[in-house]
Amino acid sequence: MGMKSDIKLIDDNGLRIDGRLPNQLRPIKMEVGILKRADGSAFVEWGGNKIIAAVYGPNEAYPKHVQEADKAIVRARYNMAPFSVDERKRPGPDRRAVELSKVISEALESVIFVEKYPRTSIDVYIEVLQADAGTRVAGITAASLALADAGIPMRDLIVGCAAGKVDDVVVLDLNKEEDNFGQADVPMAIMPRTKEIALLQMDGDMTYEELTTAMEMAMDAAKKIHEMQVEALKRKYIKEVDEDD
Amino acid sequence: MEGKIAIRKIVVPGEEIDEKGKPGNGVFVENGKLYSAYLGIVDTRAGYVNVIPLSGCYIPKKGDKVIGKIIDLAPMNWVVDINAPYYAPLHVNDVPWRVEFGDTGRYLSIGDVILAKVSNVNELGQVWITLKEQGLRKLEGGHIIKISPFKVPRVIGKGGSMIQMLKDYTGCRIYVGQNGIIWISGPPEGIITVIKAIRMIENEAHTYGLTDRVKEFLEENRGESNGNEE
């Protein structure tokens, strides 16, 4: 972000570096129930991002002092694999991973009926296998699928989506180059039914008008991503039946 | 097993339910509309709209018969894992034996499996279980498998029809705990067939005409295989 470069991110026809229109998403693939041992799991391929999410619980929370007497706690862990980026990343949580784990936990907690399971913890593990900008929003999308798969009661599925500003144009779903050399990146987590926002961060700067446009773009995209999520969840059960024929 | 199998309507969390009725289990109301809280199937009965989850953990209910494993001993009680988010204590007053203080290990030790009843649950999720009732006991030998607790009613069938059929075809003794733990005892071939049939029920729980298909499967598989699950 903010790096000066000669790369032209938007060409004369208004197309982006990967040939997308400003309000076009990267291709997204979703699959639910890929891990046998987890209570719920999902795999999301979002452009160049490859992310696995697994959910365990609700289980009694330990150590005991983290328990909440009247509700469940949601503990998400966002982790990037050492091989997920160009240059080997030192394994283990760093400043960025700790921050993302915290904001993702809070975003997920806002849709889960936590009061149904007092004294428990719901553990969400988000593993980034391949990163290509926008991993936190893809991670949230995968985590919400995994939570639904684990049979955890929720107010809504949660959808992650990013927007940003590149070469003075507001664009949806930034890729690696646009993220590195663009002007702003706004990751968001949206509840598509109520249009509530569960997470909003901004890296770089935008005017108020640009931010409003970016948010509207993300809202529209959230609807599309939500449809894909619903389709992925339903497909799991339809497939299970067909396989046995 | 030819052609397409009819599937019950599946809903996802936050999906609006297009049915009239009072909100039941797995359903919440916002602005007078009904929404599903789970990934599950819609079930309308007696004026209530329910969503039966397709997966999830077991939440103990008073009166449920469950199968649990002893995981710890204390002077006055045993700690039992009943596949719920919380462990359940079994107090020495709730067993049919007279147990001296500190002598719990003589009657039930770690790893033993019991068929127990949930005697009480409170709003904090604490659970108490009992063995003091006819038919409740320690289970010796046998095989144990786990299924999703929401699929237990399908394994039992209407009025116990499915479980009775499994018993009749294989000659096994089967106990199904409401918590999704199933205990099977009998000839090895029978156990293998029962496990396969239960896995089949589990995978196709949300379809119609399941009993007939399981019956067909049992007719075909009267014994054979090597003893390994899956």
Predicted pLDDT of residue A240: 58
Q: How confident is the model at residue B43 (pLDDT cuts 50, 70, 90)?
A: confident
The domain spans of chain A are 28-244
Residue with tokens 């199904």: B176
Predicted pLDDT of residue A67: 92
Predicted pLDDT of residue A245: 42
> In sequence order, what are the residues at sequence separation of 6 or more whose Cβ sits closer than 8 angstroms to the Cβ of residue B143?
B183, B184, B185, B191, B195
Spans of chain A, pLDDT less than 50: 244-245
**pLDDT exceeds 50 at position B100:** yes
**Pair of tokens at residue A30:** 């979703």
Q: How confident is the model at residue B5 (pLDDT cuts 50, 70, 90)?
A: low
Q: Which of B187, B183, B184, B192 is nearest to B227 (CA)?
A: B192
Distance, CA of B68 to CA of B137 (rounded, Å)? 11
B contact residues 145-174, partner A, Cβ 8 Å cutoff: 148, 150
Asked: is A28-244 a CATH 3.30.230.70 domain? The reply is yes
Predicted pLDDT of residue A53: 97
Mutate to test the interface with A, among B1, B8, B10, B12 (most CBs of A within 10 A): B12
Residue B124 with chain A: CB contacts under 8 Å: 69, 118-119
**pLDDT exceeds 70 at position B41:** yes
Predicted pLDDT of residue B151: 86
Cα distances from A198 to residues A70, A75, A108, A161, A186, in angstroms, run: 22, 16, 8, 11, 13
**pLDDT exceeds 70 at position B228:** no
pTM for the model = 0.87
Q: How confident is the model at residue B214 (pLDDT cuts 50, 70, 90)?
A: confident
B contact residues 71-100, partner A, Cβ 8 Å cutoff: 85-87
**Pair of tokens at residue A70:** 């009247």
Q: Does A153 touch chain B (CB under 8 A)?
A: yes
Predicted pLDDT of residue A145: 96
Q: Which stretch of A175-189, A226-240, B5-19, B23-37 has the lowest confidence by average pLDDT?
A: B5-19
Neighbouring C-beta atoms of residue B62, cutoff 10 Å: 12
Q: Which of B142, B94, B100 is nearest to B116 (CA)?
A: B94
Predicted pLDDT of residue A5: 63
Cβ–Cβ < 8 Å for A52, A43: yes
Predicted pLDDT of residue A169: 92
| Better-scored residue on pLDDT, A73 or B153 | A73
Distance, CA of B222 to CA of B224 (rounded, Å)? 7
- Please indicate whether, in this complex, the C-beta atoms of A241 and B10 are within 8 angstroms of each other: no
Predicted pLDDT of residue B226: 47
The mean of the pLDDT values for chain A is 91
Q: Which of B54, B122, B44 is nearest to B88 (CA)?
A: B122
Sheet holding B173-176, edge to edge: B143-146, B181-185, B173-176
Predicted pLDDT of residue A184: 93
A contact residues 10-29, partner B, Cβ 8 Å cutoff: none
Nearest to B55 among A117, A150, A154 (CB): A150
Residue A229 with chain B: CB contacts under 8 Å: 12
- Please indicate whether, in this complex, the C-beta atoms of A151 and B200 are within 8 angstroms of each other: no
Across A150-159, B124-133, B219-228, the highest mean pLDDT is recorded for A150-159
| Chain B residue at shortest CA distance from A38 | B56
A contact residues 62-81, partner B, Cβ 8 Å cutoff: 69
Q: How confident is the model at residue B230 (pLDDT cuts 50, 70, 90)?
A: very low
Q: Does B206 touch chain A (CB under 8 A)?
A: yes
Q: What percent of chain B has pLDDT over 90?
A: 37
Predicted pLDDT of residue A152: 94
**pLDDT exceeds 70 at position B227:** no
Of the CA atoms within 13 Å of residue B48, those in its CB half-sphere come to 10
Predicted pLDDT of residue A239: 63
